[in-house]
Amino acid sequence: MPAAARGDSLAAMDPDLLRRYGGPVPRYTSYPTAPHFHPGITAETYLGWLGGLPPEARLSLYLHVPFCAQMCWYCGCHTKVVRRYEPVSDYAETLLQEAARVADALPRGPRAVQLHWGGGTPTMLSGDDFRRLTDGLRRAFRFDAAVEIAVEVDPRTLDAEKARALAAAGVTRASLGVQDFTAAVQAAINRVQPYEVTARAVDLLRDAGIRGINFDLMYGLPRQWVADLLRSIELAVTLAPDRIALFGYAHVPWMKSHQRLIVESELPKEAARWAQAEAAAARLEALGYLRIGFDHFARPEDPLARAVTEDRLRRNFQGYTDDPAEALIGLGASAIGSLPQGYVQNAVPIQDYRAAVAAGRPAVLRGCRLSADDRLRRAVIETLMCRLKVDLAGLCARHDADPADFAEEITALDGMAADGLVEIEGSEIRVTEAGRPLVRSAAAVFDRYLKAGTARHSRAV
Ligand code: SF4
């Protein structure tokens, strides 16, 4: 099929711009980013940080469940395939022990306003274990009456009983992995999930009383064309999701060996990825979704969209969020926590994580203490990523810093400004609509670690 007939000539991007600004950069779900965490931050450091939280702090809890029924070849998560339930139930026990230890280290007062189950596939947990864990968390931590409980759901393995168990545990929002409905694409990524399977899962969740529905879609997949993605979007919106995350597939086989099963010659090149991302964004906006940051979309009445209009949007390890918490507590293997003092990450191998918890300590193995410079740069990067603009003078005033110290970064943005991707006026930097998909590249200019680091990242587009 000729490219034009497939719609791949849509939203053509100057190849020069893609070459200059579309290269590998972090996703900036934290700053400093995870490759710069180090073992100088220990379980003892973490216990001290937890004890130092103010009593009025709001908590966000993240639980990582690193198990799946089958490996999707595009997967970039910390997970493993299990055939038996025993490792999952053992892990649930460890999660409860870890939660109790972490909660013991907190001062009296902090309350949980959000709970997010991620993975892996949290719905690998039986309905009983899911409820038992949620009840255990409610006993360990003080839950706010209006707590939001979100869970990542694999539509292929959801049944009515599990959906009811999620609702009974208080789940208010479910995120469903969809990616693309095209059969050829699904075969190429080892995730066969016809539209009817996703539609049934949405019905089960809504019938059980779970109202918030998110979909994850993906571009840049093998054998994927613009027309496939647009058709997938049309099908997706028939199910009326409140939010859609549109992620670019990150091909990092040096980090995720199963990605070697993806045929590289079937992957769309940079220009095609760009065309897919922009065509999908335009279609979602035309269908009434508000574009948020560079990869999220939400119905105008959804809380995430309201966070944009009310200037409350933030960015954390789940991406764009309206989570107002001052501290993110990560539980489970590989889970990352974010406290006012810095970041912590648990052991990644499940056996190491379980051994640490069995020894009676948090499983934190590395992290990063925030310096004053980190805090300032983190604020600049998060503001740019969320608001697509930043007033350096205003932020520097709040951080007791001198905006003149950013002269080098402003100069580094000259090229993007000349290409119409950012506008610089005094100390204010604005990312233009043309530059929105490349906001990570603008943010990267302020990343002090990126220049010195050796970490390899996925492409900006
Ligand atoms: S279900 Fe999700 S976490 Fe599991 S392998 Fe597939 S993409 Fe990865």
Q: CA 418, CA 406: separation in Å to the nearest integer? A: 19
For ligand 1, the distance from its centroid to the CA atom of residue 125, given in whole angstroms, is: 15
Is 63 inside any structural domain? yes
CATH of the domain at 79: 3.30.750.200
Amino acid at 166: L
Which residue from 154, 164, 161 is spatially nearest to 192, judged by alpha carbons?
154
Which of ligand 1's atoms lies nearest the C-alpha of 177? 2
CB 325 near ligand 1, within 6 Å: no
Same domain, 164 and 81: yes
CA dihedral 133, 135, 137, 141 (to 10 degrees): 180
Last residue of a domain, which of 282, 313, 331? Answer: 331
CB 119 near ligand 1, within 6 Å: yes
CB 121 near ligand 1, within 6 Å: yes
Number of helical H runs and strand E runs in the chain: 18, 19
340, 326 in Cβ contact below 8 A? yes
Is 353 inside any structural domain? no
218, 244 in Cβ contact below 8 A? no
Q: CA 186, CA 170: separation in Å to the nearest integer? A: 32
Which residue from 37, 51, 145, 62 is spatially nearest to 101, judged by alpha carbons?
51
Amino acid at 449: Y
Same domain, 382 and 419: yes
Contacts of 17 (CB under 8 A, 6+ apart): 419, 421
Same domain, 81 and 94: yes
CB 118 near ligand 1, within 6 Å: no
Provide the pLDDT for residue 228. Answer: 94
Tokens of 206: 């809504």
164, 127 in Cβ contact below 8 A? yes
Burial state string for 252-281 with b = 16 or more CB within 10 A and e = fewer than 16: eeeebeebeebeeeebbebbbbbbbbbbbb
Q: CA 410, CA 86: separation in Å to the nearest integer? A: 55
- The predicted-structure confidence for 290-339, as pLDDT tens digits, reads as follows 999 999 999 999 999 999 999 999 999 989 999 999 999 999 999 999 99
Same domain, 10 and 115: no
**Whose structure tokens read 């940051």?**
293
Q: CA 50, CA 47: separation in Å to the nearest integer? A: 5
Q: CA 102, CA 95: separation in Å to the nearest integer? A: 11
Provide the pLDDT for residue 73. Answer: 98
Which of ligand 1's atoms lies nearest the C-alpha of 154? 1
| 3-class DSSP string for 6-38 | HCCCCCCCCHHHHHHHCCECCCCCCCCCHHHCE
Contacts of 135 (CB under 8 A, 6+ apart): 169
Same domain, 6 and 47: no
Contacts of 315 (CB under 8 A, 6+ apart): 28, 29, 293, 321, 382, 385, 386
Provide the pLDDT for residue 14. Answer: 74
By alpha-carbon position, which residue is closest to atom 7 of ligand 1? 75
Which residue from 225, 125, 121 is spatially nearest to 182, judged by alpha carbons?
225
Ligand 1 probe mutation, 75, 175, 179, 261, most atoms within 8 A of CB: 75
**Whose structure tokens read 């910390």?**
78
CA quadruple 412, 291, 256, 331: dihedral positive or negative? positive
Is 361 inside any structural domain? no
Is 347 inside any structural domain? no
Same domain, 263 and 251: yes
Same domain, 244 and 149: yes
Burial state string for 309-342 with b = 16 or more CB within 10 A and e = fewer than 16: eeeebebbbbbbbbbebbbbbbbbbbbbbbbebb
Last residue of a domain, which of 303, 331, 359? Answer: 331
Structural domain boundaries enclosing 290: 34-331
101, 153 in Cβ contact below 8 A? no
For ligand 1, the distance from its centroid to the CA atom of residue 374, given in whole angstroms, is: 32
282, 276 in Cβ contact below 8 A? no
For ligand 1, the distance from its centroid to the CA atom of residue 267, given in whole angstroms, is: 19
Cis peptide before 136 (omega within 30 of 0): no
Is 352 inside any structural domain? no
Tokens of 230: 């647009």
For ligand 1, the distance from its centroid to the CA atom of residue 251, given in whole angstroms, is: 15
Provide the pLDDT for residue 2. Answer: 42
Last residue of a domain, which of 331, 361, 383? Answer: 331
26, 447 in Cβ contact below 8 A? yes
H or E stretch including 200?
A: helix 195-208
Same domain, 167 and 265: yes
Ligand 1 probe mutation, 63, 64, 71, most atoms within 8 A of CB: 71
Helix axes 160-168 and 127-140, enclosed angle (nearest 10): 10
Q: Is the pTM of this model over 0.95?
A: no
Cis peptide before 32 (omega within 30 of 0): yes
Same domain, 153 and 121: yes
By alpha-carbon position, which residue is closest to atom 2 of ligand 1? 120
Same domain, 195 and 153: yes
By alpha-carbon position, which residue is closest to atom 8 of ligand 1? 75
Number of domain units in the chain: 2
For ligand 1, the distance from its centroid to the CA atom of residue 94, given in whole angstroms, is: 22
For ligand 1, the distance from its centroid to the CA atom of residue 77, given in whole angstroms, is: 7
CB 79 near ligand 1, within 6 Å: yes
CB 68 near ligand 1, within 6 Å: yes
Ligand 1 probe mutation, 63, 68, 125, most atoms within 8 A of CB: 68
Which of ligand 1's atoms lies nearest the C-alpha of 74? 7
Is 5 inside any structural domain? yes
User: Could you say which residues of the chain have pLDDT below 50?
Assistant: 1-11
CB 137 near ligand 1, within 6 Å: no
183, 227 in Cβ contact below 8 A? no
3-state secondary structure of 55: coil
Is 461 inside any structural domain? yes
Is 350 inside any structural domain? no
Which of ligand 1's atoms lies nearest the C-alpha of 152? 2
Provide the pLDDT for residue 457. Answer: 61
Same domain, 59 and 196: yes
CB 175 near ligand 1, within 6 Å: no
Which of ligand 1's atoms lies nearest the C-alpha of 79? 3
CATH of the domain at 406: 1.10.10.920
Same domain, 280 and 408: no
Contacts of 350 (CB under 8 A, 6+ apart): 66, 80, 87, 91, 333
Q: How many CB atoms within 10 Å of residue 394?
A: 13
